[in-house]
Amino acid sequence: MTIFKNEDRPIWAPWRIDFIRGEKDDQCFLCNKKKSKYDCFDEELVIYREELVFVILNRYPYNPGHMLVSPYRHVGDLTQLSDEEHLAVMKVTAKMQELLECVMQPEGFNIGLNTGKSAGAGVEDHLHMHIVPRWNGDNNFMPVLGGNRVVPEALNATAQLLREELKKMA
């Protein structure tokens, strides 16, 4: 069996250059989503909004359809959420699971929170629920041998499909 090194087989991700070359700030990317007066869907990847929470596609997904459900309020721990925020996060998470089942037909889900740096939280101080659709065999040779994941559909295309189905569900 031949094992290819990353330099032997380049992986193209041209959309990453804007992030690499762009200005970096210390602002919370989740807080920036709530500041939008309008949703520039192609850039923001916002899927759904309610009064207390919103949903975006993960820009660096583990699998296609990987979503984040987040309260608008900047809190880093479940204990800091109000009862209304707790309920809203869970209800919207269930709604998004139903949406993903309808649009993407996954065979399962990983749904959960990472709170704190040692638990793997990429954004330590703004709580967000991950919803990751899963399929048998979705963890193939690419991440195992090459340390890379393959997402077979552009994020904007996935976002558009999900938004269209949400309109039908309403």
Cβ burial of 164 (10 Å; 0-12, 13-18, 19+) is exposed
pLDDT tens by residue, 16-44: 566 567 665 567 777 766 655 555 555 67
CB under 8 Å to 143, separation ≥6 — which residues?
149
Residue 78's φ and ψ, nearest 5 degrees, are: -55, -35
Cβ burial of 138 (10 Å; 0-12, 13-18, 19+) is middle
Helix/strand/coil for 111: strand
pLDDT for res 27 = 72
pTM here? 0.73
pLDDT for res 13 = 57
| Beta-carbon-side half-sphere exposure of residue 169 (alpha carbons within 13 Å) | 16
pLDDT for res 123 = 73
Q: What CA–CA distance (Å, rounded) separates 104 from 160?
A: 13
pLDDT for res 37 = 52
pLDDT for res 119 = 72
pLDDT for res 158 = 87
pLDDT for res 121 = 64
pLDDT for res 4 = 46
**Has 128 been annotated as catalytic?**
yes
Q: Which parts of the chain have pLDDT scores under 50?
A: 1-6, 141-142, 144-146
Which of 74, 86, 126, 128 is an active site residue?
128
| Beta-carbon-side half-sphere exposure of residue 95 (alpha carbons within 13 Å) | 22
State which fold the 28-169 domain adopts: HIT family, subunit A (3.30.428)
pLDDT for res 1 = 45
